[in-house]
Amino acid sequence: MKKQLPAPRIYRTATWIKIVVLGAALLSPAAALSLWFKDEHTLLSLGGFGLALLALLGALDAFTTRVPLSEESIEIVANFRTRGFQRAAFSSVSWAKGCPISLHLVDGGKVELPGGLHGPEMQNTLRAWLARGFNKVPEGKT
């Protein structure tokens, strides 16, 4: 019988970030419309529509950003693109307060995780994943 692989763990943007970005996406168009009708089509009201468009794109990105982590690969979905890597492509993980988590490639480059996914918990998860993968039974144990 074929062994079934575990489902990938999916990490997403923090909920508080989604709420803040969604609030900006809802308030920016309202402010732009208010300026448009009050100030009679000034440069400020046109800039408000540009800000509203950027806020809507930011909200869409915050809600679609995710990092599925399977036993042998990681996929980074952010900024409207998808990048996939095998576990063997990475040598280490680093993180510092205020900085995104970086996965260091064997060839010397690095890949940064999206900004909403950070902290020592995520770093430790990735370190354990790099060391041996997850959901594996250690050797000698049943």
Residue 142 within a domain = no
Residue 118 within a domain = yes
CATH number at residue 72: 2.30.29
Q: Are residues 84 and 128 in the same domain?
A: yes
The string of pLDDT tens digits covering residues 84-96 is 999 989 999 998 8
Domain around 90: 67-132
Q: At what angle do helices 43-64 and 15-38 cross, to 10 degrees?
A: 160
Query: Hunting for tokens 């690095």 — which residue is that?
Result: 110
Number of domains in the chain: 2
Residue 4 within a domain = no
Q: Are residues 74 and 116 in the same domain?
A: yes
The string of pLDDT tens digits covering residues 37-77 is 887 778 888 888 899 999 999 999 999 999 999 888 999 99
Residue 15 within a domain = yes
Q: What is the pTM of this model?
A: 0.75
Q: Are residues 120 and 90 in the same domain?
A: yes
Residue 3 within a domain = no
Residue 141 within a domain = no
Q: Are residues 73 and 85 in the same domain?
A: yes
**Distance (Å) of CA 65 to CA 41, 42, 70, 131:** 35, 35, 16, 25
